[in-house]
A and B are shown apart, each in its own frame.
Chain A
């Protein structure tokens, strides 16, 4: 087990974002965290990344609390742009290289080239699509044990989505686990091993994608519609 949540709760002043989630994420698999906006996917990922502190419950990475060691091994990509305003694409790469031992600068250059970005481009002047590609390049240039990608296809046009999915699959190694949150279920259906459906901050359904399809006689897209419609 690489990531384990037990009865995890995150409450804000007048809202419960995560409501008693218990979930085990196994090594070497691709998970889809599915659910509409506001269902709690992002908060769950941010708790696992160490950005948000849970109100109660526990979350462990390889049996240890989230902290410095997990941050060395987990590559998290948020849905919002997060680079400093002064940064160019090259600065962003140097920053990652300075802080993450698993960052591969050569791989970053390749990905930047593939995403049709320039090293001198300013992060803050990039269009939303290009900014999303920069986040993906920086995150996937790490040789992490767990990748958590929050809405990686947001703002990406249909043609480029294929390129992003191919790039995500390139990092899917035996020892790498990928957790992707999205509401674009049809785009993910063909690549995932497991599906976790989140509804109102709780796990509505969780299981092996193929077992769910066979067991219910429906595609993941249809199950999604059944749960959230």
Chain B
């Protein structure tokens, strides 16, 4: 499976270089602003960085889905499906590499924003006031009994939700491929299935664990239950995708 993952990363390497180059350009703009003491340039570069972070994170998930779709409809799919690997390994490698890319990109963007923030705090007194304000907010949050387990459960839910979006998309594309093969409107049908599955997922979640308002005294429990249901959904959609590829789908 590691070899399959290696080639998944390789297939999507070009976009990572583009993202890296654009982050480098934004950072150059930021450092120019810091050195030249141009506040408007600093603010502009930070805005660019925030928007670009969100855009890049969405693009990474979208690219994993697009690569999967291309692997089912283009002739280069032979390279993948002729290798002596089960569909379970092939889909598993795709899900894992997508998950790893999202986590690593999240850490990298967080690190860049944190470094830029630290530089600003070190350079400007006014930022010191912002820092104090932020610390006060954090203290207030702790007074509200925000526990470490709350943060862990939120991060776990974010990661599992992101991965479930990818596995639901894989399942939708594969399901439409089983009965529509190469038809032009297959992409639209996949999207409708994707929306339908998300509705089912939300219904199951609310039926199983109820509403968030019932957990105000223990949000971490709510988030953990939701993460567990999301993981179950990931497993079901992963197994369903791999089974259809193994038994039904022709490439």
Residues of B within 8 A of A53 (CB): 247-250
Residues of A within 8 A of B11 (CB): 84, 86
Residues of B within 8 A of A100 (CB): 83-84
A82 touches B84 (CB 8 A): no
B84 touches A76 (CB 8 A): no
When C-beta atoms are compared, the residue in chain A nearest to B182 turns out to be A12
Residues of A within 8 A of B249 (CB): 53
A71 touches B82 (CB 8 A): yes
The verdict on A68 contacting chain B, using a C-beta distance below 8 Å, is yes
When C-beta atoms are compared, the residue in chain A nearest to B3 turns out to be A98
Q: Which of A44-52, A111-119, A158-166, A213-221 forms contacts with chain B?
A: A44-52
B3 touches A99 (CB 8 A): yes
The verdict on A95 contacting chain B, using a C-beta distance below 8 Å, is yes
A84 touches B79 (CB 8 A): yes
The verdict on B57 contacting chain A, using a C-beta distance below 8 Å, is no
Contact of A12 among B7, B77, B181 (CB under 8 A): B181
Chain B proximity of A54: nearest CB distance (Å): 9
When C-beta atoms are compared, the residue in chain B nearest to A46 turns out to be B250
CA distance A68 to B88 in the complex (A): 11
B84 touches A99 (CB 8 A): yes
> Scoring A residues 31 to 75 as 1 if CB is less than 8 Å from chain B, else 0, what string do you get?
000000000000000100111110000000000000111011000
When C-beta atoms are compared, the residue in chain B nearest to A79 turns out to be B75
Contact of A76 among B75, B82, B86, B247 (CB under 8 A): B82
Contact of A78 among B13, B78, B84 (CB under 8 A): B78
CA distance A83 to B11 in the complex (A): 12
A51 touches B78 (CB 8 A): yes
Contact of A99 among B13, B75, B83, B251 (CB under 8 A): B83
Chain B proximity of A203: nearest CB distance (Å): 21
> Scoring A residues 72 to 96 as 1 if CB is less than 8 Å from chain B, else 0, what string do you get?
1000101011111110000000010
Chain A proximity of B54: nearest CB distance (Å): 27
Chain A proximity of B96: nearest CB distance (Å): 17
The verdict on B85 contacting chain A, using a C-beta distance below 8 Å, is yes
Residues of B within 8 A of A13 (CB): 181
Residues of B within 8 A of A46 (CB): 250
The verdict on B148 contacting chain A, using a C-beta distance below 8 Å, is no
CA distance A67 to B181 in the complex (A): 21
Chain A proximity of B69: nearest CB distance (Å): 15
Residues of B within 8 A of A81 (CB): 75
* B6, B83, B249: residue with the most chain A Cβ atoms closer than 10 Å: B83
Residues of B within 8 A of A80 (CB): 75, 78
B76 touches A82 (CB 8 A): yes
Residues of A within 8 A of B14 (CB): 86
Residues of A within 8 A of B86 (CB): 67-68
When C-beta atoms are compared, the residue in chain B nearest to A91 turns out to be B10
Contact of A69 among B7, B84, B251 (CB under 8 A): B84
A52 touches B250 (CB 8 A): yes
The verdict on B81 contacting chain A, using a C-beta distance below 8 Å, is yes
Q: A12-B181, A86-B14 are in contact. Are A51 and B3 (CB under 8 A)?
A: no
CA distance A131 to B144 in the complex (A): 66
Chain B proximity of A27: nearest CB distance (Å): 20
Chain B residues packing against A (C-beta within 8 Å)? 3, 6-7, 10-11, 13-14, 75-79, 81-86, 181, 247-251
Q: What are the nearest 5 A-B pairs in CB distance? A: A52-B250, A71-B84, A82-B78, A99-B83, A72-B84
Subset of 21 A-B contacts with CB under 8 Å: A13-B181, A51-B78, A51-B250, A53-B248, A53-B249, A53-B250, A67-B86, A69-B84, A71-B83, A76-B78, A78-B78, A80-B75, A80-B78, A81-B75, A82-B78, A82-B79, A84-B11, A84-B76, A98-B3, A99-B83, A100-B83
With A53-B249, A71-B83, A100-B83 known, 6 other A-B pairs at CB within 8 A are: A51-B82, A53-B247, A53-B250, A84-B79, A86-B11, A95-B79
